Structure 1
C-alpha cells in the first residue's frame, strides 16, 4: 500500500515529466532580423549614390528613375505601423523586389542582404510586382486602341526599319520554371524542360505593346497564339486595325494597296495580317531572299527586346521556383519595368551594344550581346499546314514592293 509520501513523490515526478515535454517557445523574431536599420542593404544604397554605375548595376536603373518609380508605387505598397512592430517601408519593399528581379536569388539568400525574413519576402515581392505592373501599364504598357495609334506604330516601323504597314513584331519564349507539385508533364516542353510561355508584341522602339503569359510549356507552340485574347480579338476584327491602304510612295497607276500586318517567325502561321519569312528550302530566287532579309530585319526587334529583358533581369536565367501565379506577377512586372526604363533611361538601361547592328557595305550583322547571351528558349516552329491563297498573294506583293519602290540601297549586300 502506498503511503502519503509515495503519492507526493509521484506527483512531483509527473510535474517534472510535463515540464520536460513542454515545448521550448520559439523566438518571435531572430535578433539580427530586428536590426534591419543597421544591416539592411538600403544603407549600401546611400553609399552607391556616389558611384552611379554601381547604383545602376545594383537596381538596374539610375537613381532618378528609381526615385520616380518609388513615388509612383509607394501608395500601393505602403503598410501601416502597429503597436507590435514598425512596418517595412516602401523603399525597403521596392529595393528588395528590384534586387530579386535583377539577381534571381532565392528568398533564403535575399534575407541576408535585405534583413527581411523569407516568409515576409514571399509576400512582399509578389505584392510589389503586382503593384509595379498595375501602376506602370497605364502609361508604359498601353495596347493601341484606335486606328490612329496603330498608324503611328506603322509609321515608326517604316521610318526605322523600312517595313511599311507593320503593326509590330510578334514572338514567344519559354520561361523555365520549377514545376508545381503533382503537375506531372503539364509544363514539359520540346526542349525537355519545364516552362511557361511568354508571348509578346513589340513596337519599333523595342517596347512591349502586349504581353501574354501563362500558357504551359507542353502546349503545341503553334497553338500558343490561339490561346490568347489578342488572337480572339484579331479573328473577330475587334482591334481597330486600319483597313488596307495604298503605300505612301507607291505609284498612282497600279499602286500597292496592302493591309496592315504583324511580322513573325516560323513559329506562327502565315496569315493575311501576319507576314513571316520563307523557309530555307523555299529560297529559290533572289527576290525571296531579299524579302526574307527585310522581314527578318523588322522581326529582329522582338528578339532584341527579349534579350535585353533577360540580360537586365537575371531572374530569367534561373528556374523560377514559385507558384505559377507568382511567376506571372514577376514576368508582367519585368515587362512593364522594361518599357519604363526604355522610356526614362534608355542610354543606361539599353546602350547601343545591346542591339544587333548592320554593316551595310559588308552585308553582315553583328548580334548585340543581349541577343547572344539570351537564355530564353524560342518557340518551336509550326508544321507547314495549309496557307490560304490570299496570305500568299499579300506576301508576294510585299516581296515585289521590296525590290521596286520600296527598295533600300544596301539590301543586295545582305543576299548571298
Structure 2
C-alpha cells in the first residue's frame, strides 16, 4: 500500500507541475499579445496638427477656391463633380459619432481615395500627405472604393439589358466607326501586382511579373459595358472569356439582341469585335490571319481593327487618368479588385457627366485620310519604363464554324462593295501595303 500511495503522489505532483507550466505559458503568451497590440499613442504626435497642416485643410481648399484647372489635375474631376460624387457615397463612409474624438470626414476620405487612385503613390505617401495613420488610410481606401462600386456600378457601369440599349450601341458604332451591327469591342489587360500572399505561380504571367487580368467590353463612346475582374495572370484572353458570363449568354443566345437585319442584302446577326486570340463566332468577328491576304481582306482587317480602337482607347484613358495602374499595386487581392472596380466606375461616371474635361479634344486616337493620329493619352502612358496596362499574349485561334466563316466573308465583301466602302480605305491600305502596325 505504501508503494502504491507513493506512486500516486508522484503522478499527482507531475500532473500539477505540468498544469502549472501550461498556465505559465498561457500567461506569457497573453502578456506578449497585450504588449504587442497595445498602441503607444492614439494619434502620433506629428499628426496632431493635421487640421492645420494636412493637405485636406491646406492644398485641397486652396485649389478648390482659387484654381479649378489644378483642382481637376488634383482629383481628376471638377469641384461640382466632386460634390456630386460625395453625395452618392457619403452615407457609406460617414464617420460614426464619438464624443471623445472627431473622426475623418466623408469629404476627406473621398479625397484621400481619389489622390491614391489618381497618383499611384503608396498608402504610406498618402499617410504623410494627409497626416493620417497608414492603417487608417488603408481602411479609408478600402471602404471608399467599395462604396464607389456599390453606388455607381448599377447606374454608370450597367450591362445593357434590353433590345433598345443594344440597338443604340450598334447605331453609334455604325455612325461613328462605319462598321455595321457591332454591339461592343472586347479585350483584356494585365494589371501589375506585387506578389500576392500565397499566390504562388498562378498570378505570374508570360511577361515575368505578377498580375491579375481585367477583361472588358466597351461601346462606341469608350464606356465600359462589361468588366470581368480577378483572373489569374497566367491565363490568356481566350480561356478567361470562355469562362465568363458574357460568353455563356452569347453562346446560348440569352441576350436580348436585335433580330438579324440585312447587311448588303443578307440577314446578318449582331456581334462583338475581338482580336486574333478569340475564336471566330457568328457573334464574334475577328481579323483574317495575316498570311496571304488579298487586298479585300486587308481592307476588312483595317476597318475592323480601326473600329476596335474603342476598347484600346478606353484602356488608354483609364490608365492615363488613374495612375494607380502605372506601378505594381501593393495590396491584398480583395482590395486590388475593389480598386479596379472603382476606377472603371469612375471612368464611366466622368465620361457621362463631364466628358469634355475628362477626355478633351485630341486625347484619344483619331483618323483621317492620312491614317491614325495617336491620342495624347499615349504620351502620358509611355512616360513610364513599362506600359501601364499590358496586353495578354496574342496566340491566334483558328477554330471556327462554317457559318462564322461565311458571315466574315460576307462582311468582307460588304466592306469592299460600293454600299459599304468608305473613300479612304482602299487608298490607305494601298499606300501602306498592309494594315497599320499600330492597329494590330
TM-score relative to the length of structure 1: 0.89
1:257 has 2:271 as partner: no
Distance 1:371 1:267 in 2: 24
Preserved CA contact (<8 Å) 2:279 2:399 = no
1:44 has 2:44 as partner: no
Distance 1:156 1:383 in 2: 29
Which of 368, 371, 389 is matched with 2:375 structurally? 368
Are residues 28 and 278 of structure 1, via their aligned partners in 2, closer, same or farther at CA, if it must alter by over 3 Å? same
Are residues 246 and 122 of structure 1, via their aligned partners in 2, closer, same or farther at CA, if it must alter by over 3 Å? same
Matched residue of 1:410: which SS? Answer: helix
Preserved CA contact (<8 Å) 1:267 1:379 = no
1:267 has 2:277 as partner: yes
Distance 1:345 1:46 in 2: 21
Q: Which residue of 1 aligns with 2:79?
A: 63
Are residues 331 and 317 of structure 1, via their aligned partners in 2, closer, same or farther at CA, if it must alter by over 3 Å? same
Structure 2: segments with no counterpart, 5+ residues: 1-34, 382-386, 431-440
Q: Which residue of 2 aligns with 1:173?
A: 189
Structure 2 counterparts to residues 15-414 of structure 1, below 5 A: 26-42=40-56, 43-49=58-64, 50-247=66-263, 250=264, 255-283=265-293, 285-360=294-369, 362=370, 364-371=371-378, 373=381, 374-404=387-417, 405-414=419-428
Q: Which residue of 2 aligns with 1:4?
A: none
Preserved CA contact (<8 Å) 1:269 1:382 = no
Distance 1:387 1:185 in 2: 32
Are residues 85 and 104 of structure 1, via their aligned partners in 2, closer, same or farther at CA, if it must alter by over 3 Å? same
Matched residue of 1:210: which SS? Answer: strand
Distance 2:102 2:63 in 1: 26
Matched residue of 1:171: which SS? Answer: strand
Q: Which moved more, 1:371-380 or 1:270-279?
A: 371-380
Matched residue of 1:85: which SS? Answer: coil
Preserved CA contact (<8 Å) 1:206 1:301 = yes
Distance 1:394 1:111 in 2: 56
Structure 1: segments with no counterpart, 5+ residues: 1-21
C-alpha RMSD over aligned residues: 1.6
Distance 1:297 1:348 in 2: 24
Query: What's the offset of the Cα at 1:290?
Result: 0.9
Matched residue of 1:238: which SS? Answer: coil
Preserved CA contact (<8 Å) 1:222 1:381 = no
Are residues 100 and 267 of structure 1, via their aligned partners in 2, closer, same or farther at CA, if it must alter by over 3 Å? same
Distance 1:128 1:25 in 2: 25
Distance 2:306 2:399 in 1: 26
Preserved CA contact (<8 Å) 2:277 2:397 = no
Matched residue of 2:256: which SS? Answer: coil
> 1:91-133: per-residue Cα shift (whole Å, max 9, x none)?
0000000000001111111111112111011111011011111
TM-score relative to the length of structure 2: 0.85
> 1:162-194: per-residue Cα shift (whole Å, max 9, x none)?
111000011100001112123221101111111
Matched residue of 2:167: which SS? Answer: helix
Distance 2:308 2:376 in 1: 17
Query: What's the offset of the Cα at 1:25?
Result: 7.2
Matched residue of 1:28: which SS? Answer: coil
Query: What's the offset of the Cα at 1:352?
Result: 2.0
Distance 1:27 1:45 in 2: 28
Matched residue of 1:196: which SS? Answer: strand
Matched residue of 2:96: which SS? Answer: coil
Distance 2:198 2:152 in 1: 35
Distance 1:408 1:37 in 2: 61
Preserved CA contact (<8 Å) 1:167 1:203 = yes
Query: What's the offset of the Cα at 1:235?
Result: 2.1
Preserved CA contact (<8 Å) 1:222 1:380 = no
Query: What's the offset of the Cα at 1:153?
Result: 0.6
Query: What's the offset of the Cα at 1:376?
Result: 0.9
Are residues 110 and 394 of structure 1, via their aligned partners in 2, closer, same or farther at CA, if it must alter by over 3 Å? same
